[in-house]
Amino acid sequence: MTSLQRTDILSLIHLRSDGRRPNEIRHMTCHLGALPPTTDCGSALPSSACSGSAMVTMGLTQVLCIVRGPCDVGRRTEELPDRATLEVTMRTAPFAPPGDRRSTNPTSDRRLIEQSHLLQKALSASILLHLYPKSKISVTVMVLADDGGRLEAAINACTLALIDAGIPLKDMVCACSAGRWNAGGSDEIVVDLNRREIQAATGGASGGGGGNNSGGGGGTSDTIYLPVATMPQRGTVVLSQCESRLSGGAEAFGEVLECARAGCEMVMEVMAAAVRERGAGLWKAREGKATVVLDDW
């Protein structure tokens, strides 16, 4: 019974399992100001002190980011005399499907801790922290749904939330992933991988950007999954994380990196459009023009 599966048909016509071309990113939507900023004193929600927020959807991955601050540092020991402390917390919503692995404790998951650390590094490359000495900017990322690439979505959401909060940034940080694997003999590079593709690219054993790429990894030549964050307007890379074994050497890696950077450019366009749309709406409302921006509903 040799039956062609849907995925086989797609790969025959050079489309990916979700119908995209290799160089297409997933459908991406951005919503700035997803939560109302600094609301009533009466509200008991801890989010009442939020100064900016954004929701980013990349394919089936959905991430909400909330920025608070700059505010006083709680503990004196965390205070820096010349710049602000940047505190990043990343967690998954309890109702989110257990993304890349079997369900773990969302607060002590080491992959989350690692990713929030990466996020912190990527963002501190862009935020002008020295403008707010002795204070704290805290960024909370909530992963609402994870279909691969939650780190990239989180970085994009953080950038937008920081813009929404009006915190000065050196540049917009945009993130996108790229990968390559041997799909039925043909060796192709794709951008913005979803979970299924990540699993294919990292050897399947454990998805979500790698984990131990067991001994067999060396045999399947170059399978790479590479999340990259760049500042597209100045062309610098602020984050690139590769956990797979490379035998093809530098050229192979360079190709994938270039591909990811192209993906970041596309992400940048979507994000810029979202910011402009938000700005235009607010501007018109303030100028007293016809458009009405009603936030809270």
- Segment 221 to 260, residues that bind other proteins, using CB under 8 A: 231, 233-243, 245-247, 249-250, 253-254, 257
Could you say which of 16, 28, 51, 175 contacts other proteins (CB under 8 A)? Answer: 51
296 makes contact with other proteins (CB under 8 A)? yes
> How many CA atoms lie less than 13 Å away from 281 in the CB half-sphere?
13
Shortest distance, CB of residue 12 to other proteins, whole angstroms?
32
Q: Which listed residue (148, 149, 208, 210) binds other proteins by CB under 8 A?
A: 210
Binding to other proteins, residues 98-127 (CB under 8 A): 118, 121-122, 125
Element (H, E) at 201: helix 195-201
Q: Of 150, 136, 39, which is closest to residue 92 (Cα–Cα)?
A: 150
- Find the part of the chain contacting other proteins (CB under 8 A) among 4-12, 35-43, 94-102, 182-190: 35-43
d(CA 138, CA 86): 6
Q: Which of 104, 142, 121, 102 lies closest to 241 in space, CA to CA?
A: 121
Structure tokens at 151: 């780190």
End-to-end CA distance of the chain: 54
In whole angstroms, what separates CA 252 from the centre of its chain? 24
Q: Is residue 134 a contact point for other proteins (CB under 8 A)? A: yes
The dihedral of CA 70, 76, 77, 80: what is its sign?
Answer: positive
10 touching other proteins, by CB under 8 A: no
Q: Which is nearer to other proteins, 10 or 170 (CB)?
A: 170
CA distance 73 to 79: 6
Told to check if 80 binds other proteins by CB under 8 A, we report no
Q: Does 128 bind other proteins (CB under 8 A)?
A: yes
Size of interface with other proteins, in residues (CB under 8 A): 82
CB 93 within 8 A of CB 142: yes
270 binds other proteins per the rule CB under 8 A: no
- Which residue, 4 or 250, has its beta carbon nearer to other proteins? 250
Q: Which is nearer to other proteins, 59 or 199 (CB)?
A: 199
